[in-house]
Structure 1
């Protein structure tokens, strides 16, 4: 397993400089940016603490940390860390008048904003989320190295380890538990992080047979019955693997904070039926077409339209979700499993080199389950390069 170091001082300085430039060219005038997301704090500081990162128009950058200040000092390569007990302590470094203020409006609670307003004056609040996500969408060489390593481990996991785990009579939760254990032992960083608000996920979406077409609140084309209505994830304790079942494994993998995304479908104990093979093969055909369209300056909305208006007959029902289809064909991957760009009709920003995108054409089959593929690609000037091994037919185990 390749050991990956934390981001260097130069890497962090470059990220902050890019954010500063984007804020200065934003539609609304920029005076102050406040970052509370731990993932975004890690992206700009190299550490993830109970803290608040503030960037000012005059170039000042300060990271105020409540816990752990000592760890932040050890991990952050920049001389920007200040100890904080309450937000009042920030006034020793940052003036009270914040002016036109950019914050992560998608995740910052109103209660936190109210606490900040006890000590600071914000002229106007502007959304910061999409600015940071668009910056994070283009990966550096440092990030690509990590994601490529994740992709290699991911491929080995689904092609070699999963077939060893699947045993007749095991429950879905047995499968997921053993899979998680093997993932962590191999090098997985132990979590699956999503940008979507209030999304919980352990390992990914897994299901035996028609469990993988059960309705789910997760915005993906697969399904999962889960533990209970209160915990609709992880798998079902009472669904046992039997001969003839399809096994759907949509797994998020990651190392050093960065993810890859990949799906493999298995047929347990026997070859899948002709209809199943036909639909799965059609999904492989779609992902090949998608990958060929994944080029620098390509418009995701145009890619989406081209693919969805020319679907093969075998995908005419339940494509991208059984009953309730999702309205995308792929999504960015990085510190979160769901990032920008999105291959969807509403996303019209051109693709750039070094964007990382997971493509996932899938289809539900009545009474059978979900089939299809998902692979992670990096957009290069010469075309898309797959980081997770490439799509495979249904594996018989």
Structure 2
């Protein structure tokens, strides 16, 4: 029964992509899927391999390693072992015609190896169309995102406060946080489509650490372990009374993520101006969530909210200093950062069952980052929250 459901799910995804290709690029002949996350999306397994989709909707999945695992995990019947691309070319023929592949992630060396065995009349990007297909979640996918959101809410509301102890380092806190995540069902990683971005847990910072500059395209910051590993948390920054604790983490179940941020204060009560800024972010999140309806235009949502904010509030909003990001929300799924994006210039209409994380946040000088983030499903009644909704700063 589970296999029959899964093959139906994979057929739906294949047909959706091919329909979009027919509408957008009617001259297409073949699609090559080489990225592991996209392989998982279209085959149900994640291997060192290549999925070839042809215009007649036939698909061939060639696997270097592990062929045995691919056969065990995927319901596809067209899975073949591959030593090199020569084997694939020998089976389906070397002529691919007008070829579309993931130009955002396929390295030049891999493309050159493909060209050694395949003839491609032209090469184009399939990235945006694949992301468009992935943006609308099926009931199967929503079930896993909802499970992630439920566990995520429990993690940040119930399990984090007892972990915080005076004198503990950020690094030790992250270690205990990660252990707690695994114990309640986290799948172990937070995946990002952003080029060369890897993250085990998320962005965690005590006090001013959450304002520290990073290469990550998000409002928050972090000292990280060291320049070579600007992730996780500092061994030197220790928790003290009066510190804000900024926890922005993804949570995943069976490949699918939710995204949520919670702010805490340790051993004190937050000052009135801190509460005011944080609650303003909560109110912005609620206004954004009400606008997550089918047919809404992300660019218009972004402009309608940003235009109401005072110049003073915009200072250090969605980042600190000159490091302000240009969005208020982003899609979530197999990656934490997917389409759509709530930003200026994103004109594609929202569709029912898109999943979007909203994250209004504001940096406070010498204090830290405040604000909220929650994951919502687009619906006719507005965004349906999967992660509990914006919460006041939790006193620990």
What TM-score range do you get, normalising by the shorter chain? over 0.9
| Secondary structure at the counterpart of residue 183 of structure 2 | helix
1:58 Cα deviation after fit: 2.2
Residues 131, 372 of structure 1: alpha-carbon distance in 2 compared, 3 angstrom cutoff: same
1:174 Cα deviation after fit: 0.5
Which residue of 1 is the match for residue 157 of structure 2?
A: 159
| Secondary structure at the counterpart of residue 187 of structure 1 | coil
Which residue of 2 is the match for residue 359 of structure 1?
A: 358
Residues 6, 281 of structure 1: alpha-carbon distance in 2 compared, 3 angstrom cutoff: farther
Which residue of 1 is the match for residue 55 of structure 2?
A: 57
1:318 pairs with one of 316, 332, 335: 316
1:145 Cα deviation after fit: 0.6
1:228 Cα deviation after fit: 1.2
Per-residue CA distance 1:116-165 (angstroms, 9 max, x = gap): 11111111111010000000000000000110010000000000000010
1:294 Cα deviation after fit: 1.1
Measure the CA separation in 1 of the matches of 2:152 and 2:19.
35
Which residue of 2 is the match for residue 392 of structure 1?
A: 391
Which residue of 1 is the match for residue 112 of structure 2?
A: 114
| Secondary structure at the counterpart of residue 280 of structure 2 | helix
- Say whether 1:17 aligns with 2:28: no
Measure the CA separation in 2 of the matches of 1:74 and 1:127.
31
Measure the CA separation in 2 of the matches of 1:330 and 1:123.
38
Measure the CA separation in 2 of the matches of 1:91 and 1:291.
49
Residues 106, 48 of structure 1: alpha-carbon distance in 2 compared, 3 angstrom cutoff: same
| Secondary structure at the counterpart of residue 261 of structure 1 | strand
Measure the CA separation in 2 of the matches of 1:117 and 1:297.
42
Which residue of 2 is the match for residue 280 of structure 1?
A: 278
State whether residues 39 and 335 of structure 1, in contact with CA within 8 Å, keep that contact through their aligned partners in structure 2.
yes
Which residue of 2 is the match for residue 299 of structure 1?
A: 297
Moved over 4 A (4+): 4-7
State whether residues 7 and 142 of structure 1, in contact with CA within 8 Å, keep that contact through their aligned partners in structure 2.
no
- Superposition map of 1:25-36 within 5 A: 25-27=23-25, 29-36=27-34
Measure the CA separation in 2 of the matches of 1:370 and 1:59.
49
**RMSD (Å), alpha carbons:** 1.3
1:135 pairs with one of 123, 133, 136: 133
Measure the CA separation in 2 of the matches of 1:371 and 1:287.
13
State whether residues 282 and 315 of structure 1, in contact with CA within 8 Å, keep that contact through their aligned partners in structure 2.
no
| Secondary structure at the counterpart of residue 375 of structure 2 | strand
Name the stretch that deviates more: 306-315 or 160-169. Answer: 306-315
2:175 pairs with one of 174, 177, 194: 177
1:305 Cα deviation after fit: 0.4
1:97 Cα deviation after fit: 1.1
Measure the CA separation in 1 of the matches of 2:139 and 2:114.
37
Measure the CA separation in 1 of the matches of 2:229 and 2:46.
27
| Secondary structure at the counterpart of residue 327 of structure 2 | coil
Which residue of 2 is the match for residue 46 of structure 1?
A: 44
What are structure 1's unaligned runs of at least 5 residues? none
Measure the CA separation in 1 of the matches of 2:117 and 2:25.
27
Measure the CA separation in 1 of the matches of 2:231 and 2:306.
29
